Structure 1
Amino acid sequence: MHIDQWIESVPPSSVYALIGLIIGLESLGIPLPGEIALITSALLAAQGVVNPWGVALCAIAGAIIGDSIGYAIGRRGGRPLFEKLGRKFPKHFGPDHLETAERSFQKWGMWAVFFGRFVALLRIFAGPLAGTLRMPYWKFLIANVLGGVVWAGGTTLLVYQVGKVAEQYLKGASYIGLGAAVLFGAGSALVLKRRAGKSRARHPEQSGLPSGEPIRPMEQPVD
Structure 2
Amino acid sequence: MTTLIDRIVAVPAPWAYVIIAVLVFAEAAFFVGFVLPGETAVVLGGVLAATGRLSVAALLVLVVFAAVAGDSVGYEVGRHFGPRILVTRPLRRHAGRLARAQGTLRERGGWAVFLARFAAFLRAVMPALAGASRMPYRRFLAFNAAGALVWGVGVVLLGFFAGHSYAAAERALGRTSAVLLAAVVLALAVGVLVRRRRRHQSLG
Fold-level similarity (TM above 0.5): yes
Per-residue Cα deviation, 1:97-119 (whole angstroms, up to 9, x for no partner)? 21121122123210111111110
Identical counterparts, % of pairs: 31
Query: 1:139 maps to what in 2?
Result: 139
Q: For 1:107 and 1:20, locate their aligned partners in 2 and report how far apart those are by CA, in whole Å.
A: 32
Distance change >3 Å, CA 19–CA 93, structure 1 → 2: farther
Counterpart contact for 1:29–1:128, Cα < 8 Å: no
> Displaced runs of 4+ in structure 1, greater than 3 A?
none
- Give the whole-Å Cα distance in 2 for the aligned partners of 1:121 and 1:104: 14
Note the 1:159-170 alignment, pairs <5 A: 159-170=159-170
Structure 1: unaligned runs, 5 residues or longer: 1-6, 178-223
Give the deviation of 1:65 after TM superposition.
0.4
Q: Distance in 2 between matches of 1:43 and 1:27?
A: 23
Quick check: 1:43–1:163 contact (8 Å CA) kept in 2?
yes
SS in 2 for 1:49: coil
Instruction: Report 1:107-122 matches (<5 A).
Output: 107-122=107-122
Alignment match, 1:51 = 55
Report the CA distance shift for 1:162/1:10 in structure 2 as closer, same or farther (over 3 A): closer
Which of the residues 34, 39, 57 maps onto 1:35? 39
1:89 match: secondary structure:
helix
Q: Work out the CA distance in 1 between the residues paired with 2:14 and 2:32.
A: 25
Distance 1:113 1:140 in 2: 7
> Residue 206 of structure 1 corresponds to which residue in structure 2?
none
Q: Is the 8 Å Cα contact of residues 24 and 67 (structure 2) preserved in structure 1? A: yes
Q: 1:134 to 1:124 in 2, by over 3 A?
A: same
User: Which has more helix, going by share of residues?
Assistant: 2
Give distance in 2, aligned partners of 1:24 and 1:130: 17
Tell me the residue number matched to 1:73: 77
Contact 1:57/1:153 (8 A) holds in 2: no
In angstroms, what is the RMSD of aligned CA positions? 2.2
The equivalences for 1:1-223 within 5 A come to 8-32=9-33, 33-83=37-87, 85=88, 88-89=89-90, 93-174=93-174
Q: Deviations over 1:181-204 (max 9, x none)?
A: xxxxxxxxxxxxxxxxxxxxxxxx
- Secondary structure at 2:174's aligned position in 1? helix
Q: 1:170 Cα deviation (Å)? A: 4.3
User: In the alignment, which residue of structure 2 is the partner of 1:193?
Assistant: none
Unaligned segments of structure 2, at least 5 residues: 1-7, 178-204
> What does residue 191 of structure 1 align with?
none
CA deviations 1:112-138 (Å, max 9, x no partner) are 111111100110011101000111111
Larger radius of gyration: 1
Question: Which stretch shows the higher mean deviation, 118-127 or 164-173?
Answer: 164-173
TM norm structure 1: 0.68
What does the per-residue CA deviation read over 1:129-156, in whole Å, with 9 as the maximum and x for residues that have no partner?
Answer: 1000111111101011111111112211
TM-score (norm: length of structure 2): 0.74
TM-superposed deviation, 1:173: 3.0
Q: Does structure 1 retain, via aligned residues, the 8 Å contact 2:45–2:159? A: no
| In 2, Cα distance between equivalents of 1:93 and 1:60 | 29
